[in-house]
Amino acid sequence: METLSKHMLTLGKNAREASSSLSILSNESRNKAIISIANQINLNTNKILEANQKDYKKAEEKGLNKAALDRLFLDENRVQGIVDALKSIAELNDPIGEILEDWDRPNGLSIQKVSVPLGVIGIIYESRPNVTADAAALCLKSGNAVILRGGSESFYSNTSIHECIKQALTEENLNPDMIQIVNTINREAVDLMLTGLNGAIDILVPRGGRSLVSKIQSDARIPMIGHLEGICHLYVDKSSDIDMAVDIVMNSKMRRTGICGAAETLLIDEKAIQTHLPSILDALKSANCEIRADDQITGLYDGLVLAQEEDWYTEYLDAIISIKTVKSVAEAVSHINHYGSGHTESIISQDKEAINYFFNHLNSAIILNNASTQFADGGEFGMGAEIGIATDKIHARGPVGARQLTSYKYLIHGSGQIRPT
């Protein structure tokens, strides 16, 4: 433990020192570094895929579920997706040095509120190797040094991607300590990060399952950005187009079942049970999705499982969906506010009053109308990529991209003003 402790403190010290030079690095230099990382990942695709296969084989042997395996898996298309995301991040406007507000005081003082990096970010994540690249690029774009600690199941993939990052930074004559990775699967490393490493880490960003995030929420001694669960809801209103409703339900649930933006509960207007629900059920059954419904629906249709109370609280991350009948949009909102996690909700409706009620009476981070919940993604928001979805109400909400990884300071210009006694 002492050796690991010293190693982690060294990572923190190095990150803090690197953040000083990174915070004043020009946008052009930061963008060049991100493009260089993208090029290195592209050049080393085969090495990354070999490392990923090593991780994947071990994960299969451990019996990881399909959702976890999907999050872990890389192929050429997914690696190309990582490369494209990094290039998109480089094309974003500079989030640093932006004048957010400015005003003059009657005494002649000129005040500017200007965006600045957070400093050093600690990112703790599971399964997804793409987070290694996305997080590195977003932190680099926003002028933050970062310490990455990926999950043991993606250790070889993360290490391979980080080697590309180090090579790119070196080629750009930048300090590789700007982006460091914890090169051990020892879980005590996470505990040490939660202490802040003697003030080296300014903020933590967890990305993973409930057990990881809840541990960080309870044990961290420094601020964090994140969400506990993605219990996302769909509400199908009686006014909705049936074909649209089917398409959105299927995409929200089945496109990728293991991501936090996947829909877990479908709320259906009781006046749409006869018109809309048969087509929705047929589509879900055809996709081998298990359906857990309330007694009103199970009494009408065969092949369904009777939902229990815990189903309304459950993030399945699998081909399972719970369905509940509601009498109105107000009842749908009441259900979401009671059982939801504040992540993402979507109303499928053509009724403007119902849509406005849904928008105005929910306080989730992301609320959609006539669109899939799986648009809860920084890339789809035009952010290039995201570190995760934040459901807290302080600092950042929704997709956490480069701009959300900034704070601000006040710059005040005077001409000799002093305060009167």
End-to-end CA separation in angstroms for the chain:
56
Q: How do residues 116-168 score in pLDDT, each as one tens digit?
A: 999 999 999 988 899 999 999 999 999 999 999 999 999 999 999 999 999 99
Query: Are the beta carbons of 232 and 262 closer than 8 angstroms?
Result: yes
Query: What pLDDT, on a 0 to 100 scale, did the predictor assign at position 164?
Result: 98
**Beta strands 290-293 and 320-326, pairing class:** parallel
- 1 pLDDT higher than 60: no
Rounded to whole angstroms, how far apart are CA atoms 140 and 166? 13
The H or E element spanning position 166 is helix 155-171
Where are the domains positioned within the chain?
2-225+400-412, 232-375
Q: C-alpha distances in angstroms, 287 versus 231, 311, 393?
A: 21, 20, 36
Q: Helices (H), strands (E): how many in the chain?
A: 14, 16
339 Cβ contact partners less than 8 Å away, ≥ 6 residues apart: 231, 265, 312, 313
**Exposed e or buried b for every residue in 396-417, given b needs 16+ CB within 10 A?**
bbbbbbbbbbbeeeeeeeeeee
Handedness of CA 244, 250, 253, 259 (dihedral sign): negative
When pLDDT is cut at 50, 70 and 90, the band that residue 394 belongs to is confident
- 319 pLDDT higher than 80: yes
**Beta strands 398-399 and 389-390, pairing class:** antiparallel
**Beta strands 406-413 and 110-117, pairing class:** antiparallel
Torsion of CA 366, 371, 376, 382, to 10 degrees: -100
Least confident of 59-73, 105-119, 243-257, 322-336: 59-73
Using only C-alpha atoms, what is the Rg of the chain? Answer: 24
Q: How do residues 178-234 score in pLDDT, each as one tens digit?
A: 999 999 999 999 999 999 999 999 999 998 888 888 899 899 999 999 877 899 999
Query: Are the beta carbons of 369 and 355 closer than 8 angstroms?
Result: yes
Q: C-alpha distances in angstroms, 43 versus 76, 83, 163, 164, 184?
A: 12, 10, 12, 9, 26
3-state secondary structure of 321: strand
3-state secondary structure of 413: strand
One-letter amino acid at 188 equals: E
One-letter amino acid at 187 equals: R
Rounded to whole angstroms, how far apart are CA atoms 322 and 276? 16
Q: C-alpha distances in angstroms, 418 versus 82, 109, 111?
A: 53, 10, 15
Query: Are the beta carbons of 100 and 113 closer than 8 angstroms?
Result: yes
33 Cβ contact partners less than 8 Å away, ≥ 6 residues apart: 140, 168, 169, 172, 174
Query: What pLDDT, on a 0 to 100 scale, did the predictor assign at position 392?
Result: 84
The dotted CATH code for 232-375 is 3.40.309.10
Domain 2-225+400-412 is classified in which CATH homologous superfamily? Answer: Aldehyde Dehydrogenase; Chain A, domain 1 (3.40.605.10)
Burial class (CB within 10 angstroms; exposed 0-12, middle 13-18, buried 19+) of 27: middle
* 244 φ/ψ angles, rounded to the nearest 5 degrees: -60, -45
When pLDDT is cut at 50, 70 and 90, the band that residue 370 belongs to is very high
Rounded to whole angstroms, how far apart are CA atoms 301 and 45? 48
Query: What pLDDT, on a 0 to 100 scale, did the predictor assign at position 162?
Result: 98
3-state secondary structure of 194: helix
Query: What pLDDT, on a 0 to 100 scale, did the predictor assign at position 2?
Result: 62
Query: What pLDDT, on a 0 to 100 scale, did the predictor assign at position 194?
Result: 96
CB atoms within 10 A of CB 34: 27
For residue 107 the two structure tokens come to 């005494």
> How much of the chain exceeds pLDDT 90, in percent?
88
**Exposed e or buried b for every residue in 247-275, given b needs 16+ CB within 10 A?**
ebbbbbbbeebbbbbbbbbbbbbeebbee
